[in-house]
Amino acid sequence: MNAPLVNDSLLRALLREPTPRRPIWLMRQAGRYLPEYRATRERAGGFLEMCTNPQIACEITLQPVERFPLDAAILFSDILTIPHAMRLGLAFETGEGPRFDRPVRSAADIARLFVPDPASDLRYVVDAVALIRRELRGRVPLIGFAGSPWTVATYMVEGGGSKTFARIKRMMYGAPRDLHRLLELLARATIAYLNAQIAAGAQAVMLFDTWGGTLTPAQYREFSLQYMAQIVDALTRRADGRIVPRIVFTKGGGAWLDRIAAIGCDAAGVDWTTGLAAARAAVGDRIALQGNLDPAALLAPPEVLRAEALRVLADYGPGPGHVFNLGHGITPDVDPENVAVLVDTVRGYRPPA
């Protein structure tokens, strides 16, 4: 039996309900900028080893919550757990990022894929979620997540990270039906995966569409947004007696926020290239917004960081429906003391009457 939730401000803000202050959590809040994370990684032996060990994933998830008065914990995992479970030979090379031994480049490659069973193929994630919920003891909600089908597919087809996305775009232009088959499979896998996280204890879920912004508007609607809409529509709506909010974040997708709002999600992430006032005008009162401080502001002197955080808060304006976050993840070179300054600034902010 999980403890009752003491601080539910994140969940209420994501549903555009009033909160006494702006809730705050940070993408990649558990990561390399924290000395305790680096110590755990040294002990664990590598990134994938940490992700696949529920006890270590729990420890890392809790590290930023123990250090800072954040309003949420986010599962320590990776967006490539689904293709890892498809047995594509995922490895994380130091300084190189993720690599697949068996990339997906043809119709035959796609035909060999399968939808992983979360109860067996991804059991380590489900077990980590359940353990984290117990260890949080109701202090703050736990966010589960997955990569969007388009973003996960880019890594599978490219075989790793890419600057040009040449291979997947060649498939998109030359064999669109093959790409749609891959994306449809990933959508089904993601629905099962996120619903398993919710069943295990995740109280909100987020789709990370890191590479949606590399597409044209029409391509985005066809190859990214429609699959995220399928996922949002099929997610478990209630757990533990309350609504499970669904967040969609397309990096570089500020021009498409109105379309994102129309797919039925509860909140949209906003990166730092779109102002929150403009974002709010685009979505109206349909969804909440999450964001959107430039992560590089955490490298600034404390007084500059405070001013930038206050500017973001003021840009959203009064009223409910804002979760403070970065426009993307924390970078490894950030001083944890600056994170403390940011959290203190946001927690102390009260909008002018």
Hey, what are 61's tokens?
């998830």
Tell me whether residue 155 is one of the annotated catalytic residues: yes
Question: Active-site residue among 32, 67, 102, 347?
Answer: 32
Tell me whether residue 28 is one of the annotated catalytic residues: yes
Euclidean distance between CA atoms 27 and 290, whole angstroms = 11
Question: Active-site residue among 71, 121, 139, 155?
Answer: 155
> Phi then psi for 325, rounded to 5 degrees?
-160, 180
Find residue 130's DSSP bridge partners.
none
Euclidean distance between CA atoms 308 and 62, whole angstroms = 27
User: Can you spell out the DSSP letters for 67-102?
Assistant: HS--S-EE----TTHHHHHTT--EEEETTTEEEESS
Q: Are 212 and 251 in contact (CB under 8 A)?
A: yes
Of 251, 247, 248, 299, nearest in space to 272 by CA = 251
Question: Active-site residue among 78, 121, 209, 271?
Answer: 78
How many Cβ atoms are within 10 Å of 170's Cβ, its own excluded? 13
Tell me whether residue 333 is one of the annotated catalytic residues: no
> Exposed (0-12), middle (13-18) or buried (19+): which is 47, by Cβ within 10 Å?
middle
Euclidean distance between CA atoms 11 and 204, whole angstroms = 7
Question: Active-site residue among 21, 41, 67, 286?
Answer: 41
Find residue 92's DSSP bridge partners.
98
Residue found by looking up tokens 């999600």 in the block: 265
Q: Find the DSSP H helices in 45-122.
A: 47-51, 54-67, 81-85, 107-111
Tell me whether residue 220 is one of the annotated catalytic residues: no
Euclidean distance between CA atoms 8 and 76, whole angstroms = 20
Of 109, 9, 123, nearest in space to 57 by CA = 123
Of 1, 3, 29, 2, nearest in space to 323 by CA = 29
Question: Active-site residue among 16, 28, 246, 306?
Answer: 28
Hey, what are 150's tokens?
């388009």
Q: List active site positions.
A: 28, 32, 41, 78, 155
